[in-house]
Structures are given as C-alpha cells and as structure tokens.
Amino acid sequence: MTTERPSPPLRAGERETLRAFLDFHRATLAMKCEGLSDDDLRRRSMPPSTLTLLGLVRHMAEVERTWFRKVINGEDIPLVWSDEGDYQVAYDASGSTRSEAFEAWQAEVGHSRRIEREAESLDVSGYQPRWGEQVSLRLVMNHLCHEYARHNGHADFLREGIDGVTGA
C-alpha cells in the first residue's frame, strides 16, 4: 500500500494549515516505513543506539496520545506501552511487529484528529503536567509538527541505512 502524502495549502487559514502540515508529517513517517519487513523496521541505527523505525512509530503513538488525549482532552489514561509513564519504553520495538505498532499509532492519530476537529478553536487548552500550566491546541499542533519533523529526520537516516532509499 502506498501512502498518499497531502500537500499543505499555500493559502489557507491557520487551523487548516496546521492540520495539513501535521498530516503531511504523519504521512512522511508512514512513507519511510513502506515496503520494509518487520525485521527491517526493528533494525537499529548504530550501536549503542537502539533507535529503529518501528520504535519511532511507537513513540509517535505515545506523543499523539499524550498531547491530544491526556493534555487537551483531559483523559486519565496510561501510555500505550508503559503503565509507569516511561516514554522510553516505546522505543524498544525488539518484540514488536508492524501491525501492532501501526495499529496503535493509527488509532491514536484517529483520536487526535477527532479531538482537534471537535475543539471549538485553537485556543482550547488543557493542562500539561510536565510544564505545570495550560497549553493551547495551537501549541499542541505546532509541537507535534516539530516532533514529527525531528523524528522524520531520524527516519531518513534509518531508512537509508536499511536499504539505501533516500528522499521524500
């Protein structure tokens, strides 16, 4: 299956632009994982790092869950892979499969999209305990664009190390 990556609009409102850039970055991560086996997706970058493409997918499921469901929606739920709130657990994809990781990530993306669309405005806010204050949906969407862009850079290097594929 080929991932279709949306082009962000050249002229649109703030919310539509943020939504499009976030979906662009989500699609980029999916594209970096296309056509690879579970073993390839679990292949580490370079010792001592344990970073893998599958670990990035799992991590981004946690990021989506935390920022949209826990912070903006105020849901009292654990992380996907750690009841203790340890974000590093998601990076260990050694026993994970594409289907498990992508199912969790896509479910969290679905929740995030629903929460964003149901929010009255970008000014809707939620409490971010690590920062000790309220943050807006606007900040959350910008922060997720930043998170995806940073990790998609990692994904570029990981993919190139696996099979030489670059770009996109």
The pLDDT value recorded for residue 4 is 86
Domain 14-163 fold is Four Helix Bundle (Hemerythrin (Met), subunit A) (1.20.120)
Structure tokens at 137: 């949906």
Compute the average pLDDT of residues 101-122. Answer: 98
pTM above 0.85, yes or no: yes
Compute the average pLDDT of residues 119-130. Answer: 96
The pLDDT value recorded for residue 165 is 87
Domain ranges of the chain: 14-163
Closest listed residue to residue 74, CA positions, set 65, 83, 82: 65
Query: What is the overall mean pLDDT for the chain?
Result: 94
What burial class does residue 142 get, using C-beta atoms within 10 Å of its C-beta: 0-12 exposed, 13-18 middle, 19+ buried? middle
